[in-house]
Amino acid sequence: MANQDAEAVSYADTLKDIVKFMNPLERADLVSISLTHVLSLSGSVEGKKAILQHDEVLVAVFNLHDHKFNEIAKYAALTLINLTAEEDDAINVLETSKSLSPAFPLISIAIKQIVDENSKLADPWTMVLSNLTRSEKLVEDIIVELENDSTTMPALLKAFTKLDYNKQNMKLHYLAAIFCNLTQSARGREIACEAKYDFLEKILPFASYEDNIVRRGGTIGILKNICFDPVYHNIILNEKDDILHAILYPLCGPEEFSDEENEKLPLELQYLPETKTREEDPDLRKMLLESLLQLCATKRYREVLRSKGVYEILREYHKWEAKFGQDKECLLACENVVDILIKKEEEIGLDNYREVEVPADVADKFVKEDMEYMENIL
């Protein structure tokens, strides 16, 4: 404890000495050296704590975000990524930005950088906004700010869906994480499903985007969050099958189905090539399976899933997972869906699983059984 206290004092003294050089009007070399040291400190728990206890240091970082030298502006953004990595710290940073007089427009600066196709700092600022939106305590207020300008969401969506959007080779993959974070909230899910944005239609291809797991995982996370809200099950399981296709395609392999089984499947899942591979990341496979489980909540949509050949796809997927993927949680998640789909509705005997209240002791028993299953599987 004594060593930690001494370290904290040392950090505080260092920050007090160098913050005076973190002025945009100072010589660029002094600013760069000072900010580089703060960036280094922000990478450790104690260093981050020290910075966040000294508002003047955080304010100095804010004030360097648009320095005329791109390297300094980049260091400021990277420091903010570190400082917002944990939820409580992200809240602290955003609250501090709002408490200044005048307030520092942290969210609007991030958006401006992201949608500027010539920005050299779009990626780090995308990561800053991703960190901020990850907090459920902040996401509602951030959505309000995003909606203050009706052009913001369309601009962000355009930046995400046009792969060559940024002319400085910024990839903007973390926009998928931002959108996923927004759909934690009811309003975020509503925005994603509003016809005026065509949001889902535009992002669906990225659920199978092989080149980057952040972009792919964020997109799958959006679909999962929406599936967890039964209000949108009618949109997900629509006649076009495009959303169901996006959920099922990563779980499909090159297996052949009978003509009768193929006729059930969404058109784009029929007669897949021998080169078709499955999603390689087990966490993402599990998210897709959990999405399907949520769609099994009501009789109406269980029947839709059966009619679309979901059982047949999962039957083959389970064989593959048991032999090649070998992820216990994915196997259990798959079996949870299959156990429902193979039952007749007379056996299930209820319309909506969500309306069933499971006593605490029974829930604990289910958890214990799942743990025992995963210990013995494979």
Q: pLDDT tens for residues 293-321? A: 999 999 999 999 999 999 999 999 999 99
With the C-alpha atoms ordered 104, 107, 113, 117, is the resulting torsion angle positive or negative? Answer: negative
Residue 9 has pLDDT above 70, yes or no: no
Name residue 298's beta-bridge partners.
Answer: 352
The alpha carbon torsion through 144, 103, 131, 66 (nearest 10 deg) reads 120
Q: Residue 7, SS3?
A: helix
Q: Which residues have C-beta within 8 Å of that of residue 112, sequence separation ≥ 6?
A: none
Enter the tokens of residue 161. Answer: 């869906």
Q: Smallest Cα–Cα separation from 62: which of 29, 41, 38, 45?
A: 38
The single-letter code of the amino acid at 291 is S
Residue 378, pLDDT above cutoff 70: no
User: 298: helix, coil or strand?
Assistant: strand
Pairwise CA distance, residues 239 & 197, whole Å:
19
Confidence of residue 373 (pLDDT cuts 50, 70, 90): low
Task: With beta carbons less than 8 A apart as the criterion, state whether 201 and 219 touch.
Answer: no
For the record, the structure tokens of 328 come out as 């216990």
Q: Residue 205 belongs to what H/E stretch?
A: none
Residues near 107 by Cβ (< 8 Å), separated by ≥ 6? 94, 129, 132, 142, 145, 146
* Secondary structure (3-state) at 358: coil
For residue range 199-227, what is the model confidence (pLDDT) as tens digits?
999 999 999 999 999 999 999 999 999 99
Q: List Cα–Cα distances, 328 to 213, 283, 313, in angstroms.
A: 21, 11, 18
Fold adopted by 1-97:
Leucine-rich Repeat Variant (1.25.10)
Instruction: Give every CB contact of residue 298 below 8 A, 6+ residues apart in sequence.
Output: 230, 233, 351, 352, 353, 354
Confidence band, pLDDT 50/70/90 cuts, at residue 125: very high
Q: Any idea which of 88-97, 147-156, 356-365 has the lowest mean pLDDT? A: 356-365
* Cα 4 from Cα 275, distance rounded (Å): 56
CA-nearest of 40, 147, 141, 56 to 90 is: 141
End-to-end CA distance of the chain: 46
Give the other-Cβ count within 10 Å of 307's Cβ: 10
Does the pLDDT at position 2 exceed 50? no
- Contacts (Cβ under 8 Å, ≥6 apart) of 103: 97
Report residue 257: phi and psi, to 5°: -115, 160
Question: Cβ distance 48 to 41 under 8 Å?
Answer: yes
Which pair of tokens denotes residue 227? Answer: 């599936």
pLDDT tens digits, residue range 220-269? Answer: 999 999 999 999 999 999 999 999 999 999 999 999 999 999 999 999 99
**What DSSP string runs through 28-72?**
HHHHHHHHHHHHHHTTSHHHHHHHHT-HHHHHHHHHTTT-SSHHH
What distance in Å separates the CA atoms of residue 115 and residue 156, rounded to the nearest whole number? 6
pLDDT tens per residue, range 326-367: 999 999 999 999 999 999 999 988 888 777 665 566 556 556
What global pTM score does this model have? 0.93
Helix (H) or strand (E) holding 291: helix 282-295
Tokens at 168, concatenated: 């400085």
Higher pLDDT, 197 or 367: 197
The conformation of residue 167, written as its DSSP 8-state character, comes to T
What's the rounded Cα separation, in Å, for the pair 302 and 354? Answer: 13
